[in-house]
Structure 1
Amino acid sequence: MFKQKTAPDVAPRSQGRTMAASTFSVFGSDIRITGDVVASADLHIDGHVHGDVTCTSLVQGEGSDIQGAIKAETARLSGTVRGTISARDLVILKTARIHGDVHYDSLTIEQGAQVDGRFAPRAATSAEDATVVSLAAS
């Protein structure tokens, strides 16, 4: 009388992909981290980090403070950074206070942002590094 339905043969959505590709981590304003942060996930940091930050995408809150280098594909900074920044797409918002050199492929700076450091496209810094290495090898 009743016919049992069979479940369709559908692969789970995460099959073939790493779970880290779809994750997002938040460090709240009450978080203080001493040490390097390395993540394959996107990060939103509202707290304080005393160490280097490496991730795919970084969003920094206004009250956040990062003391260390930042390496990310994309970064949107609105807090204080004391260290070198290297990002493919970088947005520095008006509340940001940057103390360090900035390396980028694409750069947007809002009026009012403060940067105490040098700006250089990442391609130019890579070429300079290659020249220094080749001169040292000679």
Structure 2
Amino acid sequence: MMSMFRQGVKTTDGSAPETLIKTSEDSSQPVAKDKWAESQARTTTGPSVINAGLTVKGDLESDGEINIEGKVEGDTRGKTVVVGKGATVKGSLFGESITVAGTVEGKLEATNVTIQNTARVTGDIVHKSVQIEAGAYVDGRVSPHLGGAEVRPAKPEFITNKPKTEETGLSDSKKI
């Protein structure tokens, strides 16, 4: 036999709330759907939002999108990270795609980085693709990377076809 109990407070008409919790594994009896679980499944597909007026101290991490409109003091990791126009972040941002319209003090590391014209970024930007709009303020090193390794152009090698002399070891054109 399956036992259930009702959780929560009674509604204004005296009826019990819809959420039921199963206390036995007997699956032969029907069980009402858990409204909380349904709402959690729906909300995990949308972006996580730090609204204006909210300050978060600590690191943030999501498998999806993180929209920051308030203040964050800590590192942020998400598939997509968006820093809104009035937002402030003191910490590093990591993701596949980062868009900044607000203020960031920290490193940005992503495949695609967009710095909008209202943005203020103080920190290095490591990217595969970067777009910096006219009017944006960036104080830091902007460097490309590919597959986790930073890409730098090869140092030019000066090649001369002239043989080295025995006296100095320099080519004839460089004798002192």
TM-score range, shorter chain: 0.7 to 0.9
Are 1:65 and 2:88 counterparts?
A: yes
For 2:53 and 2:97, the matched residues in 1 are separated by: 24
For 1:95 and 1:31, the matched residues in 2 are separated by: 21
The residue number in structure 1 matching 2:105 is 82
Alignment of 1:17-28 (within 5 A): 22-28=45-51
User: Which stretches of structure 1, 4 residues or longer, exceed 6 Å deviation after superposition?
Assistant: 18-21
Q: Note closer, same or farther for the CA distance 1:109–1:19 as it changes in structure 2 (3 Å cut).
A: same
TM-score (norm 1): 0.74
The residue number in structure 1 matching 2:37 is none
Deviation track 1:56-85 (CA, whole Å, cap 9, x = no partner) reads 001111110000110010011000000010
- Asked whether the equivalents of residues 43 and 55 of structure 1 are also in contact (C-alpha less than 8 Å), the reply is yes
User: 47, 63, 86: which is aligned to 1:40?
Assistant: 63
For 1:114 and 1:71, the matched residues in 2 are separated by: 20
- Asked whether the equivalents of residues 49 and 67 of structure 1 are also in contact (C-alpha less than 8 Å), the reply is yes
Shift of 1:126: 1.5
Alignment of 1:57-136 (within 5 A): 57-123=80-146, 126-127=149-150
TM-score (norm 2): 0.59
For 2:49 and 2:91, the matched residues in 1 are separated by: 18
Which secondary structure does the structure 1 equivalent of 2:79 belong to? Answer: strand
Deviation track 1:19-65 (CA, whole Å, cap 9, x = no partner) reads 78732111100110000001112011000000000000011111100
- Asked whether the equivalents of residues 51 and 66 of structure 1 are also in contact (C-alpha less than 8 Å), the reply is yes
Would you tell me which structure has more strand in proportion to its own residues? 1
- Asked whether the equivalents of residues 81 and 97 of structure 1 are also in contact (C-alpha less than 8 Å), the reply is yes
Higher RCO (C-alpha under 8 Å, 6+ residues apart)? 1
For 1:105 and 1:90, the matched residues in 2 are separated by: 8
Would you tell me which structure has more helix in proportion to its own residues? 1
Shift of 1:95: 0.5
The residue number in structure 2 matching 1:49 is 72
For 2:62 and 2:147, the matched residues in 1 are separated by: 27
